[in-house]
Amino acid sequence: MQGTITVDQIRDWVAARDRACIVEGFERAHPGTVAEAVADLEPDEILTALSFVRIPVRAEIFGHLDDRLQVEIARRMPRDDLAPLIAELPPDERVDLLKRMPDEEREAILPAIAQAEREDIRRLAAYPEGTAGAAMTSEYARISPDLTASEAIHTLRREAPNKETIYYAYVVDRARRLLGFVSLKDLILALPETRVELLMHRDVISVRVDETQEEAAQKIQKYDFIALPVVDANDVLVGIITYDDALDILNEEFTEDIEKLMAITGGHEGGVYLRSSVWEHFRHRSGWVLALALLGLVSGFIVHRFEGLLLQFSILATFMPMLVDTGGNTGSQSATLVVRALALREVVPRDAARILFKELQISLLLGALLAGIAFGRVYLFGDSGLPPGVPLAMVGVAVATALAIQVVFSTLIGACLPLFAAKLRIDPAVVASPALTTIVDITGLMIFFTTAKLILGL
Amino acid sequence: MQGTITVDQIRDWVAARDRACIVEGFERAHPGTVAEAVADLEPDEILTALSFVRIPVRAEIFGHLDDRLQVEIARRMPRDDLAPLIAELPPDERVDLLKRMPDEEREAILPAIAQAEREDIRRLAAYPEGTAGAAMTSEYARISPDLTASEAIHTLRREAPNKETIYYAYVVDRARRLLGFVSLKDLILALPETRVELLMHRDVISVRVDETQEEAAQKIQKYDFIALPVVDANDVLVGIITYDDALDILNEEFTEDIEKLMAITGGHEGGVYLRSSVWEHFRHRSGWVLALALLGLVSGFIVHRFEGLLLQFSILATFMPMLVDTGGNTGSQSATLVVRALALREVVPRDAARILFKELQISLLLGALLAGIAFGRVYLFGDSGLPPGVPLAMVGVAVATALAIQVVFSTLIGACLPLFAAKLRIDPAVVASPALTTIVDITGLMIFFTTAKLILGL
């Protein structure tokens, strides 16, 4: 039932230069399906296959390729083919592609693009990466409040081929200030002669051009919009962001968040794990690993400082790895929950007191549980590595207390760091879990040795 | 410009029982905005506020509340108010709410709901949680292929108030088998007398009722659909999933993935961090922390076994924390990237060889870098804790080699585990980063001590 097309079919067609099969196959299947299939071909094969189909179909398929492959194909395409393809892409995708191309190639292609589109590209390209302005498209339907419903439908029908969506039409005044919007559903349900002014929703939810694309995507999710209008500081409508962009933005942001939590740096687009070179992976991953290893050497100095204690009570060395890991785990849990709650706007930095109080209670429970287990372990099996005259129960109390303090402490650090980052308007996810782990390792060892010394009265 | 409404306003209106203000305020603002504002009120206040507005508005606002609050409010609502509210909710939300209510309350309310809706509820509730069937709605527009474009528009217009979306209409035969779909845009652009049969897209991409909701959401994202049809094994259309459900599904799945990566268990809905009790947080977080702490005791036994070596070369103890952390960090990085690439369908388990070869190369680079640093650290500052006659360079080589092996080993384990989980059709994210960290800690200590013994010739 579904219009399937396989990479092997396409490869055969390309090898045989079978124009008819390519044209039929590519036009029949969804451009997303074709893009997925051709992605496994060599760039030159893709180029050949695309050259056979009409430019609108070509642009649709091209638009579904991942960003990196788009650049690769675009750079190999003859300039006479590339200019019309770029002109056919939706404005937001067009700008993304040009931004990713090397400077000299971009400059070479721009003069071949029509004046109006060139200006649109310049305007959209001016917004910083990651803002609503950079994510929006300029192809939206705009109508005047004086139209009747049937005139509005007529306008939408006429403009449909050039608009990203005609399901929402934005109502603007002469200065292009946003007054409201009507959905195509509203227009269809209305009496034909009703004026748009009376139909339109006036309390429009919009996003400012300099807000983040993530904020825009969250508004779309929260209000179930098909499109969200983007306005400038004077409330002038400058573009829209559609629901499909919101899906892509959320996916991209999530990948970024999770990679930050795992201490991987660099910009991240979908579809690139296998296509990124070993060297690129190394660059994105080595920075934090290196920094954390250097920081990890600090734990070494702490262990070194307490060498005497360890030689005397070698049983303490046995608990070091468990103590260090447990602190890292509980800290990562609270950090993750707070990062996620901040990302979903469930909490804001000024909820800090409520969050910390909650985490304090949770960590006291966790600490008590783990302390009980650690005490049991020492008391039942820990009968070696002790100097004579020290009661085993005492050592058990020392280890248990140290572990409980470590759990409470690292849970609170884990919750504090992202709140603090958010307060400073840094992305809370940069308080990466590995960074946190290394920090609580260091504090944990200090807590461990100090508590042991105090309780054992050394 | 935006229709704002604050929690303080609403609280005052409720206290003053100011029906007029509530009605005007609630009808003017977007239901999502109202829901966000009332969420901070006491359930009884919300109940009072909602009781003033018309049922359709009430249902819209109610539908934007988070799941937990919906149940709380529904349980306090008089049965005569609850039944019409439930009838007004979209079918998928209605079923979700009823599923979450205690059995006896659900059984009490069902008889008050009309027969047709009750059957619809039974049917939808039969699909297991997490499937496309459980996420779909039964309110979609269905047309016959014999209609003309203008008749189809007329049908959509008539049915609009009861359908989740009228922007896509699904074309079915007499047995309700899915033949194709037309968008409202297609219908509007067509000549009025063109038959739907000629207009419809035949290569419909659909999802089977027993596929996961995540697969459905990914199709919506990939193909930029406003809605995706859900069919049963006989290709009979049974429902649709809309783009706004896809946004919610992706967000929910992200949260679940990230919490699994951080070893937090339990089902997760948005909006609940602050509303979950300390005890619930404890239950979701203690399981893994406890299991991993017990596993961490194994590292203790390893340290215990090599106590003699540590007493002789106390310098080795200094490097233990750094070695253990670095292994955890590099392993988490590769695990995260593979989990994410699997989730985004960039790779499948049979790409294992390519992935492992890539990770091997990356880890060799990382290992070499870190080994160099470790050697430098030992050689430059490590002049204590050595028995006489052992050259410092030798210790440096031992530490550096052990670290390099640990990095390569843990990177490969990190990449293997999720691939293996995916192969077994377990969610790769359950190979939680803390679990991985604990495993590579244990293997890392073994590697460390064994390598040191071999190189130092003990």
pTM above 0.90, yes or no: no
Nearest to A369 among B258, B290, B329 (CB): B290
B370 interaction partners in chain A (CB closer than 8 Å): 289-290, 293
Query: Are B299 and A311 inside 8 Å of each other by CB?
Result: no
Checking phi first, is residue B169 left (phi over 0); if not, alpha (psi -120 to 50) or beta? beta
Please identify which residue in the block is written with the tokens 């590769």: B334
- Identify which of B222, B237, B183, B192 has the alpha carbon closest to the alpha carbon of residue B344: B222
- Identify which of B451, B447, B444, B446 has the alpha carbon closest to the alpha carbon of residue B330: B444
Nearest to B255 among A167, A340, A347 (CB): A340
- pLDDT higher than threshold 50 for residue A444: yes
With a CB cutoff of 8 Å and minimum separation 6, the contacts of B68 are B269, B271, B272, B275
The secondary structure of B204-255 as a DSSP string is ---EETTSBHHHHHHHHHHHT-SEEEEE-TT-BEEEEEEHHHHHHHHHHHHH
Nearest CA in chain A to B330: A289
> Which ipTM did the prediction report?
0.76
Checking phi first, is residue B298 left (phi over 0); if not, alpha (psi -120 to 50) or beta? alpha
Tokens of B369: 């870098």
User: What distance lies between CA B420 and its chain's CA centroid?
Assistant: 21
Other beta carbons within 10 angstroms of residue B86's beta carbon come to 24
Please identify which residue in the block is written with the tokens 């929950």: A337
> How far is residue A432's CA from residue A421's CA, in Å, rounded to a whole number?
11
Q: How many helices (H) and strands (E) does chain A have?
A: 22, 6
Residue A3 has a pLDDT of 56
List, for residues B295-341, the tens digit of each pLDDT value: 888 888 888 888 888 778 878 888 888 888 888 888 888 888 888 88
Mean pLDDT in residue range A300-306: 84
- pLDDT higher than threshold 90 for residue A6: no
Nearest to B351 among A254, A274, A281 (CB): A274
- Identify which of A160, A174, A168, A165 has the alpha carbon closest to the alpha carbon of residue A201: A168
Composition of chain B by helix, strand, coil, percent to 5: 70, 10, 25
Nearest CA in chain B to A260: B333
- Strand residues in A22-145 grouped as ranges (E): 141-143
Nearest CA in chain A to B207: A2
The secondary structure of A389-432 as a DSSP string is T--HHHHHHHHHHHHHHHHHHHHHHHHHHHHHHHHTTS-GGGS-
With a CB cutoff of 8 Å and minimum separation 6, the contacts of B17 are B48
> How far is residue B32's CA from residue B39's CA, in Å, rounded to a whole number?
11
Please identify which residue in the block is written with the tokens 């509730």: B125
Tokens of A269: 């687009």
SS3 B172: strand
Query: Are A281 and B189 inside 8 Å of each other by CB?
Result: no
Nearest CA in chain A to B178: A1
Position B60: which residue type?
A: E
Q: What angle do CA A175, A89, A240 make, to 5 degrees?
A: 35
> How far is residue B247's CA from residue B251's CA, in Å, rounded to a whole number?
6
List, for residues A122-171, the tens digit of each pLDDT value: 888 889 988 999 999 988 999 999 999 999 999 999 888 778 888 999 99
Query: Are A351 and B274 inside 8 Å of each other by CB?
Result: yes
* DSSP state for residue B17 in the 8-state scheme: T
Please identify which residue in the block is written with the tokens 């189909």: A53
The secondary structure of B51-86 as a DSSP string is HHS-HHHHHHHHHHS-HHHHHHHHHHS-HHHHHHHH
Mean pLDDT in residue range B113-127: 87
- pLDDT higher than threshold 50 for residue B2: no
> How far is residue A88's CA from residue A251's CA, in Å, rounded to a whole number?
26
Alpha helices of A101-183 — where are they, by DSSP H?
A: 103-109, 115-125, 132-135, 149-159
Nearest to A346 among B160, B185, B273 (CB): B273
B325 min Cα distance to partner chain A (Å): 7
- pLDDT higher than threshold 70 for residue B12: yes
Query: Are A221 and B203 inside 8 Å of each other by CB?
Result: no
Residue B171 has a pLDDT of 96
> How far is residue B62's CA from residue A189's CA, in Å, rounded to a whole number?
25
Nearest to A437 among B281, B328, B373 (CB): B328
- Confirm if A301 and B382 have CB atoms less than 8 A apart: no
Interface test with A, best of B191, B278, B358 (most A CBs within 10 A): B278
Burial class (CB in 10 A: 0-12, 13-18, 19+), A223: middle
Mean pLDDT in residue range B171-200: 93
B321 interaction partners in chain A (CB closer than 8 Å): 296, 299-300, 303, 320, 324, 441, 445
Residue B432 has a pLDDT of 61
Q: How much of chain B exceeds pLDDT 70, in percent?
A: 95
Question: What's the length of chain B?
Answer: 458
Alpha helices of A344-391 — where are they, by DSSP H?
A: 352-381
Rounding to the nearest 10 degrees, give the CA dihedral for residues A156, A158, A162, A164: 20
- SS3 sequence of B103-139: HHHHHHHHHHCCHHHHHHHHHHHCCCCCEHHHHCECC
Burial class (CB in 10 A: 0-12, 13-18, 19+), A392: middle
Mean pLDDT in residue range B410-436: 83
Mean pLDDT in residue range A410-431: 86
- Identify which of A162, A119, A117, A125 has the alpha carbon closest to the alpha carbon of residue A141: A162
Residue A385 has a pLDDT of 61
Nearest CA in chain A to B3: A203
Bridge partner residues of B143 (DSSP): B171
> How far is residue B283's CA from residue A449's CA, in Å, rounded to a whole number?
30
Checking phi first, is residue B352 left (phi over 0); if not, alpha (psi -120 to 50) or beta? alpha
> How far is residue B159's CA from residue B176's CA, in Å, rounded to a whole number?
18
> How far is residue B318's CA from residue B398's CA, in Å, rounded to a whole number?
13
> How far is residue A452's CA from residue A446's CA, in Å, rounded to a whole number?
10
pLDDT band, very low/low/confident/very high, at A368 (cuts 50, 70, 90): very high
Bridge partner residues of B241 (DSSP): B228
Residue B421 has a pLDDT of 86
- Confirm if A299 and B228 have CB atoms less than 8 A apart: no
Nearest CA in chain A to B60: A223
> How far is residue B14's CA from residue B44's CA, in Å, rounded to a whole number?
10
Nearest to B247 among A29, A221, A288 (CB): A221
> How far is residue A141's CA from residue A135's CA, in Å, rounded to a whole number?
17
With a CB cutoff of 8 Å and minimum separation 6, the contacts of A276 are none
Mean pLDDT in residue range A35-50: 89
Query: Are A189 and B247 inside 8 Å of each other by CB?
Result: no
Nearest CA in chain A to B363: A282
Interface test with B, best of A166, A288, A332 (most B CBs within 10 A): A332
- pLDDT higher than threshold 90 for residue B238: yes
DSSP strand pairing (A178-183 vs A168-172): antiparallel
- Identify which of B3, B15, B5 has the alpha carbon closest to the alpha carbon of residue B42: B15
B297 min Cα distance to partner chain A (Å): 6
B261 interaction partners in chain A (CB closer than 8 Å): 258, 261-262, 336
SS3 B180: strand
- pLDDT higher than threshold 50 for residue B270: no
A441 interaction partners in chain B (CB closer than 8 Å): 321, 325
Position A208: which residue type?
A: R
Mean pLDDT in residue range B33-53: 90
> How far is residue B134's CA from residue B213's CA, in Å, rounded to a whole number?
8
A176-180, A355-359, B117-121, B344-348: least confidently modelled range: B344-348
Tokens of A331: 């800290």
- Confirm if B332 and B433 have CB atoms less than 8 A apart: yes
Nearest CA in chain A to B320: A300
> How far is residue A300's CA from residue A305's CA, in Å, rounded to a whole number?
9
- pLDDT higher than threshold 70 for residue A452: yes
B78 min Cα distance to partner chain A (Å): 28
- Confirm if A133 and A127 have CB atoms less than 8 A apart: yes
Q: What angle do CA A280, A284, A287 make, to 5 degrees?
A: 130
Bridge partner residues of B195 (DSSP): B148
Burial class (CB in 10 A: 0-12, 13-18, 19+), B131: buried
Tell which wins on pLDDT, A290 or A458.
Answer: A290
Q: Is the alpha carbon torsion for A367, A372, A373, A378 positive or negative?
A: positive
- Confirm if A352 and A420 have CB atoms less than 8 A apart: no
Q: How much of chain A exceeds pLDDT 70, in percent?
A: 95
Bridge partner residues of B142 (DSSP): B170
- B19-28 vs B43-52: helix crossing angle, rounded to 10: 90
Position A12: which residue type?
A: D
A371-375, A386-390, B157-161, B250-254: least confidently modelled range: A386-390
Nearest to B262 among A270, A333, A354 (CB): A333
A202 interaction partners in chain B (CB closer than 8 Å): 3
- pLDDT higher than threshold 60 for residue B1: no
